[in-house]
């Protein structure tokens, strides 16, 4: 089985750290592991492998069969994990389209509510599964990925409008690699449930330059983020995705469980004045879907406009 991991940041590095040992394990179903990375991180992986650190600070170094920044060099794939930032999604999907066949499983693991739709617009073939992952993981140095929180739980499930069992190849890979996963007949409520947490808090922490704990403690910011969660939930409902009636309270409770000094990854990107960031993913997505579905999103729009 040929597994491709496109993007070896926090999420892709976690997957490589888990799946990598199978590549060198006799009798494993993984006989080919290719990764797409770039820059100093790619050079480090090519020269000395990827070092994965788990939350207990245990380390393992794994080597793929190929590490490249030229996706055209990849061969036909059985499973493709897409683990890029939202602004690189279309390019990544176009790049892997030539190695995807009718039975290839494609699992994008990006933050976002409309990722499946964006992939399917470009990739009419293959088995594209909606997905989400719950993890805190990042590149801490070239060739090193540190997994600092979360179990790395992957939630995935049937394509919208279809009835299907979990593909056996994916199930066996997750279980052999020790990746915690859940298969849902309808994964969209879980995916939206994550999105209505991460999008509002990313926008508010970035604009206000406050940590998650500071946002929760501030009367005005708390009110704003609650309304943004409600706006996102109304958009989800208009799209046919049913979230719990108490989704706002559930989401705020989740936020309050984080260490008070936690910063969102989007907030850190804004602080670093990166040339590209995911404001489109966290703000414009809700605005576009809201306009399309007739749902007003004034608070989301105000924070999106206020981004530096």
Give tens-digit pLDDT for 119-149: 999 999 999 999 999 998 999 999 999 999 8
Residue 252's pLDDT is what?
97
Largest CA distance in the chain: 58
Residue 25's pLDDT is what?
85
In this structure, are residues 186 and 162 in contact, taking their beta carbons and an 8 Å threshold?
Answer: no
Contacts of 35 (CB under 8 A, 6+ apart): 4, 5, 6, 8, 12, 16, 45, 50, 64, 66, 67, 68
Separation of CA 33 from chain center: 20
Which candidate, 284, 243, 294, 254, places its Cα nearest to that of 114? 284
Which candidate, 155, 110, 138, 132, places its Cα nearest to that of 52? 138
Residue 53's pLDDT is what?
97
The CATH class of the 189-306 domain is mainly alpha
Alpha-carbon distance 150 to 56, whole Å? 12
Q: What does each C-alpha distance from 15 to 81, 103, 242 come to in angstroms? A: 9, 21, 30
Residue 41's pLDDT is what?
98
Whether the model pTM is above 0.85: yes
Contacts of 172 (CB under 8 A, 6+ apart): 29
Q: Could you confirm whether domain 2-184 is CATH 3.40.390.10?
A: no
User: Which residues partner with 53 through β-bridges?
Assistant: 59, 146
In this structure, are residues 62 and 21 in contact, taking their beta carbons and an 8 Å threshold?
Answer: yes
Q: Are domains 2-184 and 189-306 of this chain identical in fold?
A: no
Which candidate, 244, 248, 284, places its Cα nearest to that of 113? 284
What are the domain boundaries of the chain?
2-184, 189-306
Residue 158's pLDDT is what?
94
Which candidate, 142, 137, 172, 165, places its Cα nearest to that of 153? 137
Q: What does each C-alpha distance from 24 to 2, 29, 107, 245 come to in angstroms? A: 13, 10, 23, 48
Tabulate helix, strand, coil % of the chain (nearest 5). 50, 20, 35
Alpha-carbon distance 25 to 17, whole Å? 14
Alpha-helix residue ranges (DSSP H) falling in the chain: 10-23, 39-48, 89-96, 115-122, 168-177, 188-208, 212-217, 219-238, 247-256, 265-271, 279, 285-293, 298-306
Instruction: Give every residue of the chain whose pLDDT is below 70, as ranges.
Output: none
Alpha-carbon Rg for the chain in angstroms: 19
Which candidate, 299, 290, 286, places its Cα nearest to that of 225? 299
């Amino acid at each position: 089985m040929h597994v491709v991991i496109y993007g070896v940041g926090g999420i892709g590095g976690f997957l490589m750290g888990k799946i990598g040992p199978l590549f060198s394990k006799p009798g494993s179903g993984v006989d080919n592991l290719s990764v797409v990375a770039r820059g100093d991180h790619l050079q480090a992986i090519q020269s000395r492998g990827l070092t994965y650190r788990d939350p207990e600070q245990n380390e393992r170094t794994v080597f793929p069969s190929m590490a490249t920044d030229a996706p055209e060099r990849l061969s036909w794939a059985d499973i493709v994990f897409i683990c890029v930032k939202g602004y690189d999604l279309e390019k990544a999907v176009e790049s892997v389209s030539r190695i995807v066949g009718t039975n290839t499983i494609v699992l994008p693991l990006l933050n976002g509510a409309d990722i499946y739709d964006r992939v399917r617009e470009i990739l009419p073939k293959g088995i594209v599964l909606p997905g989400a992952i719950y993890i805190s993981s990042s590149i801490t140095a070239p060739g090193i990925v540190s997994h600092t929180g979360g179990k790395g739980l992957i939630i995935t499930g049937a394509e919208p409008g279809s009835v299907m069992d979990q593909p056996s190849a994916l199930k066996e890979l997750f279980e052999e690699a020790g990746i915690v996963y859940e298969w849902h007949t309808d994964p969209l409520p879980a995916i939206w449930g994550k999105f209505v947490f991460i999008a509002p808090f990313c926008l508010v922490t970035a604009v206000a330059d406050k940590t998650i704990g500071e946002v929760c403690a501030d009367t005005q910011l708390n009110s704003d983020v609650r309304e943004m969660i409600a706006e996102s939930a109304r958009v989800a409902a208009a799209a046919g995705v049913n979230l719990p009636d108490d989704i706002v309270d559930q989401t705020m409770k989740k936020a309050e469980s984080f260490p008070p000094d936690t910063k969102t990854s989007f907030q850190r990107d804004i602080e670093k004045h990166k040339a590209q960031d995911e404001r489109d993913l966290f703000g414009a997505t809700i605005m576009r879907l809201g306009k399309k579905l007739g749902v007003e999103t004034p608070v989301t729009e105000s924070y999106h406009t206020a981004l530096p």
